[in-house]
Structure 1
Amino acid sequence: MANNSGGFNDAFARLHVSEKPIEGKQITTTTISSHSPTSYRDVTQLFRQACQGLDVGQLVKDPNFTLFEAVGALEIMDPKMDSGLLKPGEDDTPSELYQPVLPEEIIGIMDQLLSSEMSWHDGAALSQTVFTCLYIDNLLSLNPSSLEEAKFNLPPSETHQPGSPTYQLLHIVLRAYCVGLIKCCERVNLQILAEHTYEEEDFVTQTYNVSLLDFITVAEINKLLVSAIEYVDSTAAPWPNNIKMALKARLAFRKLFLTELSRDVKEMVDKRSNWDGCITLLSTIGITRNLGIAVPSVFSIAVQRKLASTVPPRPIVQIPFEEAFTIVSRLCKDAKEILRVLTYSGATNLMTFFLRFTARKPQPSTYVRSLLQTLFFSNHVALGRMQISHILLEDVKELCLPADDLFDPRNELSEMPSDTRFQIHQRMKWFVERAGNSYITLYRTICQNRSRLRRNLCHLIVDWDALQIECEEIDGELQQLIKEEPVLHNDNISYAFSLSSWVYHYKLRQMEWIIFLGFELEVYLPHEFAGMYWYLQYFLRTRLQHLERIRHFVHPGVAVDSPLAATRSKECIASAQDIANAQATVNFTLLEAAALQELCSAMIFLYTALARLGLVKTPPQPYSTDVMRYELRMKPFLTIGCPDVVPFEDFKALVDNPDIEVRFSMKPYWSRE
C-alpha cells in the first residue's frame, strides 16, 4: 500500500487555529454568544481532506494523550460516567425522611418494599431496589452489629412522640418488617453464593460493602416480628380490624418467609416445611392490597451515591405490585415443589424431575434453582441422607442392569491385590469417583438458566466423550475378571459394555438437549429448521439403536461359569423387581426416543414444504455461506468421537432430498379468486 502520510501531514499542518485565512477563500466563522467576541473557524473541510491522506488502518494519536487521559476525559462531567456530577437544579443533600402518620401508608411502604425485593430476585441490583428505600438506608447507615442498634435514627416531631400510636407504628411495626426483609436478603444472598451461579446473568449478589445484619440471628429477628404482631393485635393499636389484618398478614409472612429461607438441608429433611403457610398469607396480602397508600418519597436514587460502587447511579427498578406478587407466589410454590426430591424414588425419576422442573415457563427463580442444587448435593451428601455413589450406581442399574458381581458388597472386604474381588472393587471405585464428578456437574448444570445450560452442555459432552473411552477400557478389564460370556447381537458376537453404554446414552441425550435448546433460545433461523431437525433426528436414531442394544443385554444374572458364582452375596443378585425396573426403563426410553424421532420427521417435512412454497425464505447473508454456518452449528460436536459429524455435502443432499414429494391438498383453496 502506498504511503500517503506526507499528504496527510501537509493537510494537517493547515489546521492550526492561528492560521490566517487563505486568499481567495472565505472562511466561515461562528459566533457562540452575542456576549462573547470569540469566533471559531469551521475546519470540517480541511479535516476531511487531511483524513483522505490516511492509509486504511492508520491511526492518528498524540503520544502525550495516554489511555489515562482518555478515560479521564470520558468520566469527568459525563452524566453516564461521572458518579459525582449533579445536574442543574439537583441537590445532593438528602431531604428529611418522611414519617408516616397513617397505617395505610405503612401498608403501602411494605408493599413497595416487597416489589423492590422481588425486583432484586428478578435480576436488578440491590442498589436499584431495596437500598433505594430511605428507611432501609437509615437502618443500615450506622452498620448495626446488634438488634438494639438496628433502629431508625429519626429526628423528633410533633406527630411522632414516644409512646404515641404513630411512633409505635413506625418504630415497632415498620422497623420489624424492614429488619426482617434485610435478613431475608442476606439469607438469599448466602444461598446463591454457596452454589454454582453466574454473576449478573440472572442475579446480582453485590452488597456494596453494606452488612445485611450478618451478626443478628434469625431467632432474634423472629422475636422482633412476633412483638410487632402482638402490638398490632393489642388494644393499644387504635386501627380498624381490616387494617390490623393487613399489617399482621405482612408481618407474619415476613416471619415465615425468613424462617423458610434460613433452613438448612438437614432441617428440610427432618422437619416439614411451612411454605403452605407463606402461600396462605400471600392470599391475605393480595386481598388487602387496596388498603395501602403508596409513598414514593421514601425511595430515592440519591442513596446510591453513598454506596461503594464503581458505576454512577442507575435508575430505580421497582416492578408493579401485581407482578411482584406473582413472582413471590411462584417462588414459594416452587420452593415447596423442589422438596419432593427428598422423597427419592429412583435415579431415572430424579433426572426427569430436574429436567421438567427447570424447563418450566417462566423459569424458576435463581434462588429456587440454587436451593435445588443444595438439596441434590451438599457437604458430600446427596438428598440430605444418601451417598452420590448410591444414586449413580442405581442409575446404571436402572438402564443397563450390569452383571451382579460388579455390585457385590463382599468386593469391598477383600484386601488381597491378587484377588478377583479386590480388582473388581478397585475398578468400580475408579468409576464412581470419575463418573461421579461428571454426574454431579450435569445435575448442577441443569439448574442454570437456559442460555448457560446450552453453553455448559457444549463443554460437558467433551468430558463425557472422554469418560466413555475410559469406561470402555474398564469394561474390557471387568469382562475378563468376571468371565463374561459374549452374546449374539445382530449376527455379531458382542459384550455388554454396561458402564460405557450408560455413559454413551447420557452423552447422546446431552447432544440432543443442545439442539433442543437451540430451538428454544432461537439460535437457529427459520430456514435452518429443516436441517437442524434432521440432525436432531440423526442423534435420536443413533440413541434408538443404542437402546436396542442395551435392551438385548438386560437379563438376569451372569454366566453360570463365573468364578465368583459360588461365593456371590445374595444382596447383589438382581431380583425380579430389579429386572422388571430395568426393562421398563429401557422400554420407556425407547418409546420416548421413537416418539421424538417421529415428531422430528414431521417437522422436517413441514419445513421442507414451506421452503418449496417460498413461505420460508433464506435472508441475504453476504458475509457467510452455508458451509460456514454448518460448521458453526456443528462446532460443539466436532471433537466428539462418536457419533461422527455428517459431512456437509451429505447433510445437504439428505435435507434437500428431491425425492420427497410435496403435495398440497389445500391448493384449490389458495387459488380461489
Structure 2
Amino acid sequence: MTDEMEAANEKEDVTNQANNQIPITAVGCSTDENDISKQFFELCQGLTSGELVTSSNFKMSEAMSAIELMEPKMDVGVGSRHIKTLDNAINMGLYADDYPMQLAVLDATLAMMVGWIDGSSLGSTVWTNIMLANVKNLRHPIFHPFCAGVNLLVRNIHALVNTVGNLEELPEDFNPQALFMTTKWASRGEIVAMIRDQIAVLSQIGKTWTACPRASQICTAITCRLEFVVLLLEIMGVLVPPEIENPHYDQRLGHMVLQNDHAVVNGFQDEVQPEERVDEDKEELKNNDLAKEVVQNMVEQFVGKVAEEGVKKGVEAAAKGNNGGPPSPASAPESPAEDPKQEDEEETEDSETVESDLDDYQFKPNFELAQILVQRMIVVAKCIKDTVILGRKSPDNVDGDYSWLTPFEPKACIRLTPACFPRSVKIPTRQEAADWWYDCSLRIENLVQVCPRSVKDLNTLFYFAKSFTLDADVFTRSLLQVCMFPTDSHLCGHDERTVADPIEVTLINCYSPQVLRQDSPAFKDPECRILYNTFLQQMTKLAITIYSSFGCNLSRQRDRLETALEDLATCQYHAIELDDRIDLVMIDSGQIGRREENMSFQSVVTFVFNNLLATSHHYFELGFRMDLYVPYEFTYIFWFLGDLEARWQMTTMERSREIQLNFYRQSPFFRAADETMTKQRHIYEQEMICRMESHKFNVLNQMSMIWMSEGMIKLTVALIRMKVFRMPDGGDEAERLRFERRFEPYQCLGSPLNVTYEEFKQRSGVDDMYKQPLIDLIDRAAQNFEEGFVRLQKLDNSKEQNQDTNHIIAIAKANSFACKILKSIDVKEKRIEWSFQKDFPIFPVLTIKSIAPPAPKPKAVAPLAEPESDSTTTSPSAKKTEPVSPSVKPTSSPAKPVTPKPDSPSVKSASTPSKPVTPNTKQAPSKPVTPNAKSASSTPSKPESPPNSKPASTPSKPPSEPATPPVKPAETPSVTSTPSQPASSKKGKIRTKRRSRSFPNQI
C-alpha cells in the first residue's frame, strides 16, 4: 500500500469516527479484532514480582520509547498533534519587512546556541528554529545566509568537541546527529562570501535611512549579527585543522574536496556524471581560497628543497657529459622522450618527492591572523550586547523558549532528540546570551594571545591551562586543546617542539640533573641515557594526560587527576632509578666520594615530587570549587594541606633553590674577568634573579598556607565546641571511614603522603584542642591567621604569578578579625557561615551575620463606621499580644527571633572576603549583648572531649569552661546595627555558603 493510500485511509477513519459511524471500543482497537485485555490481566496474575515475559519480536526499549513518546513531559514527548512548518511560518509573516522581529529572531537563535553549548540538547535548543532545517527552501535575504552560517558553525563546534573527546557525560547532546549525516552543506568560503555580500547591501541601505535613526540602528545591529557569525567561522578556520571542519578533507591536492562534504543528499546520489564531477572539482579547486592558501604554503615551504635537488641533478648530468663524452648512437635513443624506462624513473622520482613533501605538511594555528579577527569580534560582540533592546519585545518581558517568535517551534525536531529522561532545559534570554558571547570573545582573545607564549616551560604551560579552564565553556576548552595539540604531541603545531621540551627546560633551569649537563660523566653514560629516555617518555605521557583533563569540566578533571596520581607514582619509581645510576656513575668517576656530595643530589626525584604535590593541591582545589567538603571535615583536610602538602612543597622549592645556587657558584661565569664572559654572566644573573624572585614568593605563600591551615583547624574545633554545628553520629569509627574515603586516591603512593587516621590524630593534636580553654584556642587561631599575612604585606604583588598572595592576605585578615569578634558575641544570636572566594577557593572566610528580627504584625484598624473620639487611644479589640517564649518574661523581652529565609535581605557581614576589615578599624560603639542568666552562671562544668572519641578519665577538679564564652563589654565591637536579641533565641547553625556558580553548565 502506498503512502498516499494509507494517508487517505487514515483521514477517512478519522472522519468516520467523528461522525460516529464506527463504534470505538474501550481499548481503542478496531471492531474486527478481539479484546484480549481480560485474558491478558488474568495471565499477568500468574507472574511473580520481578518476572518478565519476553518475546522474539518485542523489546523493552521499544516499549519504553513508546511510553516516552506518549508522555508530553519527556524530552521526546509529543504534546501536540500539529507542528509548525516553514510554510506555516511564512504564512504567519516570517518574510514581512519587520526589522525588529528579524533582529529578535537572530538574537534568539544565538541564545539557543548558548543554551546548547551550556548543556542542553540540539533538538530542544538550536533546532527549534525551523529555518535551520530548511535552509535550501529559505528565500529571505537575511535569514538565508544567517541560517546557513549558523548551521555550519554548529556542525564545526559539534565536530570540534567530538574530536577533542573531552565530553564524558550527556552523550546524546554531542553524538553524531542525523541532520549532520544526511544533509549537504555549502563550503565555508561560499557561506562567508554570501554573508559578506548581504552585509554590504545592508550597509548601503542603512546609509540611506538618515531620516529614521532607529531604523538605521536596527540595520546596523543586524549587520553586526551577520558579521559575528562570519568572524567565528573564520577564527575557527585559522585555529582548527581543516579535517575537523570537513570530514572529507585530504592534505593531498589531488584529492582535496572542500565543498562536497557528503555525497548522500536526502537519501539519493547526485545526478552528476563522474567526468563532469571531476571537471567541476578542478574548476572549484582553482577558485577556492583555502586551496590556494594551502598550495601557496606548500610551494613556499618546499620550493627551496625542489630547487636544490634540481641543481644537483643538473650538475651531475653536466659532469657526466663532460667526463664521459656524448653517448654512442647505438646505445642512445633518437630523443629523450623515446626512452620509456627513463620516463618511468623520472615520474617515480617526482611522485616520491611530492608525496614525501606532502607528508611533511602539518597544520599550524595562525595565531597572528586570529588576533586580528578576534579584536574585530570583540567590537562586534560589544555592539550586539548594546543593541539587544532594539529587537521585538517579548510578551510580559519574558523570552522563555521563544515560541512567541514566528520561526520557533519547540517540537520541530523532536524526532532527532534521543530518548532520555526529562531534564530542565535552561534557555538564556537574549541579553544573557549577548553577554555570554562577549565573554566568549574575551576568552578567545586570551587564548590566541597567551597560548603560543605559554609553552616555554612546564610551570607556565599548566598555569595558563588551569586558569583558562576555570571560566571556560566546552567550546573554548576544546579550542584550547586543538590549538595546543593540533595533530599530535607537537605544541601549537611546531615541527620540532613537543611536550618533552618544556619538561627538559624546567629540569635544566630548576633542578639541573647531571644527566643533562654535557661536562658530567653521567651525560655520556649509555645506561643513564636509557633510563633518562624512559623517564622522559613517562613524564610526557603524564603531561599530555593532565593537560587534556583541563578540557573537561571540573568533575571529570578531578576524576582524571586521581589516575594521574597513580601515574606520578610510576614516574617516581623511574626517577629513583635514574638518580641512583647518576650517583653511582659520579662516584665511579671519582668526582664525588659520597652520594650526598652531588650538587644535584636527588634532583629528578625532587622534580617529580614537586609536580606530585602541585597535582594534589589542584585536586583539593577542585573539591572546594564543587563544595564537596563539609565543615566538620576541615580538621583533617586542612591538616593535610598545611602540615603535609605545604611543608613538603616548601622543602622541594628550597632544594631547587639550593641546586641552582650550587651550580651558579661552580659555573665559569661566576669568576669571569673578560668582557665577553661578563656579558654572558650578566644575562645569566638576570635569569637567576627572576627565578629567585618567583621562588621567594612561592616559598612565602606556602609558609602562609601552613599558618592559615593551623588556624583553620583550631577555628573548626572551636566552632564544634561552641555547638555552632554538631558532628554526625557514628563516633570515632565513622570519622575514620570518612578520613579513609577522602584520602583513598593517595593509597597508591608511599610516604609521606599516604597517612593513616591514627597518624593524623597523633601529629595534629586535635584531641588536645578539645581540652584547652576555649578563649585561648580562639586567640591562637587568630594569631595563626595574623602570622599568615604579616610577612606577605611587605612584598610586591603586582605580577600575575603572585596574585595568590593577595588572596591569602585578604582571607587571613578576614578570618583573624572574625576570630576576635567570635570571642565577644553570643553565637546563638548570630548566623555563622563559610564563604569561598571564586579566584582562591582553597581557604574559606568565616562570616558572622545577625539574625533578622521578625516582621511586626500589622495592627488592627477600627472600622470607619465607628470613629474613635481620641486618635491616641486604641480599641480593646484592636490590641493583640505577641506570642512570648515560655522561658522569657513578656515584659522584658521582644518576640522570639526567626531565622531569615535564604532570599531575604541579609545584614551586613562582619567580614567579607572581598574587602576584609582590619582589627584596628574604628567602629561606632554599641551596647554589649547581655547573656542569659543560665548561660552566664559560674557553675563549673566538665571539660569537653572530642565528639568522636571515647570519654577519657578526667581529674578530680576539672577546669571550668562555660558553655558560652564570657562577654567583655569593653571589647565588644559593633557588628551590626540591629538591636540585641535575647539569649534564649534560636541557636545559630553554621552552613557552608553555596556560592553562585560563575561557570556555565558543563555539558
Q: How does the TM-score come out when normalised to structure 2?
A: 0.52
Tell me if 1:428 matches 2:539: no
Q: Which residue of 1 aligns with 2:911?
A: none
Q: What is the deviation of 1:477?
A: 1.6
CA distance in 2, matches of 1:559, 1:481: 23
Please give the per-residue CA displacement for 1:270-305, whole angstroms capped at 9, x wherever unaligned: 535221211111222222222212652321133223
Q: Is the 8 A contact 1:530 1:655 kept in 2?
A: no
Alignment of 1:555-566 (within 5 A): 555-557=661-663
Is residue 632 from structure 1 mapped to residue 602 from structure 2 by the alignment? no
**Residue 406 (structure 1) aligns with:** 516
Q: Deviations over 1:650-673 (max 9, x none)?
A: 323425232555316654543615
User: Aligned letter for 1:279?
Assistant: I
2:750 is aligned, of 620, 630, 641, to 641
Contact 2:568/2:608 (<8 A) preserved? yes
User: In the alignment, residue 606 of structure 1 is paired with which amino acid?
Assistant: L
State the Cα distance separating 1:478 from its structure 2 match: 2.5
1:107 to 95, 99, 103: 103
Other structure's SS at 2:89 match: coil
Residue 493 of structure 1: how far off its partner (Å): 8.7
CA distance in 1, matches of 2:720, 2:520: 63
SS of equivalent to 2:413: helix
Whether the 8 Å CA contact 2:157–2:475 is kept in 1: the answer is yes
Gaps of 5+ in 1: 1-31, 33-39, 42-49, 51-57, 140-150, 154-169, 412-417, 562-569
Give the deviation of 1:634 after TM superposition: 1.4
Letter in 2 for 1:96: N
**Whole-angstrom CA distance in 1 between matches of 2:193 and 2:419:** 38
Match of residue 620, structure 2, among 497, 515, 518: 515
| Matched residue type, 1:128 | S
Distance 1:486-1:498 versus aligned 2 partners, 3 A rule:
farther
- For 2:930, give the aligned amino acid: R
Question: Is the Cα–Cα contact under 8 Å of residues 116 and 317 in structure 1 kept in the other structure?
Answer: no
Partner of 1:97 in structure 2? 89
Q: Structure 2: which amino acid aligns with 1:496?
A: F
SS of structure 2 residue aligned to 1:241: helix
RMSD: 3.9
Structure 1 position 122, deviation (Å): 1.0
2:125 corresponds to which residue? 129
Partner of 2:383: 284
* C-alpha contact (below 8 Å) 1:119/1:319 kept by paired residues: yes
Q: Distance in 2 between matches of 1:648 and 1:133?
A: 58
Tell me what 1:320 maps to. 429
CA distance in 2, matches of 1:443, 1:523: 23
Q: Using the alignment, how far apart are the partners of 1:201 and 1:589 within structure 2? A: 40
Q: 1:535 aligns with which of 613, 623, 640?
A: 640
Q: 1:201 to 1:510 in 2, by over 3 A?
A: farther
Question: How big is each residue's C-alpha offset from its partner over 1:37-74, in whole Å with a ceiling of 9 and x where there is no partner?
Answer: xxx99xxxxxxxx9xxxxxxx97344645795655554
Task: State the shift of 1:226 in Å.
Answer: 0.9
Contact 2:125–2:427, Cα closer than 8 Å, also in 1: yes
Structure 2: runs of 5+ lacking an equivalent: 1-25, 27-36, 39-44, 210-214, 241-363, 395-403, 668-676, 779-819, 827-928, 932-1003
1:342 matched to which residue of 2?
452
Q: Secondary structure at the match of 1:76?
A: helix
In structure 1, the residue matched to 2:49 is 60
Within the alignment, does 1:548 sit opposite 2:654 as a pair? yes
Give the CA deviation at 1:481: 3.5
Q: Is the 8 A contact 1:123 1:203 kept in 2?
A: no
Q: 1:335 to 1:615 in 2, by over 3 A?
A: same
Q: Choose which of 474, 481, 485 in structure 2 pairs with 1:377.
A: 485
Displacement after TM superposition at 1:228 (Å): 0.8
User: 2:473 matched to 1:365?
Assistant: yes
Q: Secondary structure of the residue that 2:142 maps to in structure 1?
A: helix
The residue aligned with 1:259 is 234
Shift of 1:336: 0.6
- 2:144 paired residue among 175, 178, 185: 175
For residues 686 and 527 of structure 2, the distance between their equivalents in structure 1, rounded to whole angstroms, comes to 29
8 Å contact 1:401–1:582 — kept in the other structure? no
Alignment of 1:164-203 (within 5 A): 171-200=140-169
Q: Deviations over 1:348-367 (max 9, x none)?
A: 333322233333xxx21111
Give per-residue Cα distances to partners, 1:519-569, cap 9 Å, x unaligned: 2212121111122111111221222233333333333549989xxxxxxxx
Match of 2:198 in 1: 228
Q: Deviations over 1:91-132 (max 9, x none)?
A: 357471232311221111101101001111111111111111
The residue that corresponds to 1:607 in the other structure is 716
Residue 468 to residue 201, structure 1, CA distance change in 2 (3 Å): farther
Query: 1: CA distance between counterparts of 2:163 and 2:571?
Result: 28
| Alignment of structure 1 residues 233-252 onto 2, 5 Å | 233-235=203-205, 240-252=215-227
Equivalent residue for 2:508, pick from 393, 397, 414: 397
Equivalent in the alignment of 1:147: none
Instruction: Classify 1:279/1:86 alpha carbon distance in 2 versus 1 (closer, same or farther; 3 Å).
Output: closer
Cα 1:59–1:656 shift into 2, 3 Å? farther
What is the Cα deviation at residue 203 of structure 1? Answer: 9.6
Report the identity percentage. 18
Q: Which amino acid aligns with 1:389?
A: A
SS at match of 1:177: helix
CA contact (8 A) 1:180 1:254 kept: yes
Structure-2 separation of matches of 1:226 and 1:338: 26
The within-5 A match list for 1:585-600 is 585-600=694-709
Larger Cα-atom Rg: 2
Tell me the CA shift for residue 448 of structure 1: 2.5
Alpha-carbon distance, 1:84 to partner = 8.3
Farther-moved stretch of structure 1 (368-377 vs 467-476) = 368-377
Residue range with higher mean Cα deviation, 601-610 or 545-554: 545-554
Identify if the C-alpha distance between structure 1 residues 495 and 243 changes in structure 2 by more than 3 Å, giving closer, same or farther. Answer: closer
| 1:467-494 deviations in Å (ceiling 9; x for gaps) | 11111101222233455637897xx999
- 1:457-476 per-position Cα deviation (integer Å, ceiling 9, x unaligned): 11101100111111110122
1:485 matched to 2:596? The reply is no
Alignment counterpart, residue 217 of structure 1, candidates 169, 187, 194: 187
Q: Deviations over 1:161-201 (max 9, x none)?
A: xxxxxxxxx62211111111111112222222222412446
Number of aligned residues? 574
Q: CA deviation at 1:375?
A: 2.6
Q: Does the 8 A contact of 1:487 with 1:494 survive in 2?
A: no
Aligned residue identity for 1:540:
A
Q: 1:66 to 1:640 in 2, by over 3 A?
A: farther
In the alignment, is residue 152 of structure 1 matched against residue 137 of structure 2?
yes
Q: Deviations over 1:546-603 (max 9, x none)?
A: 3333333333549989xxxxxxxx9x99944554455445434322222222222222
Q: Distance in 2 between matches of 1:581 and 1:425?
A: 31
- Measured in 1, the distance between the counterparts of 2:405 and 2:563 equals 47
Q: Provide the TM-score with structure 1 as the length reference.
A: 0.76
Output the CA distance in 2 between the equivalents of 1:292 and 1:606. 54
Displacement of 1:447: 3.5
After superposition, the Cα gap between the structure-2 partners of 1:519 and 1:202, relative to the gap in structure 1 and judged at 3 Å, is farther
| Counterpart contact for 1:119–1:317, Cα < 8 Å | yes
Where in structure 2 are the equivalents of 1:430-509 lying within 5 Å? 430-482=534-586, 483=589, 485=592, 496-509=601-614
- Name the CA distance, whole Å, in 2 between partners of 1:64 and 1:205: 35
How far apart, in 2, do the equivalents of 1:287 and 1:114 lie?
15
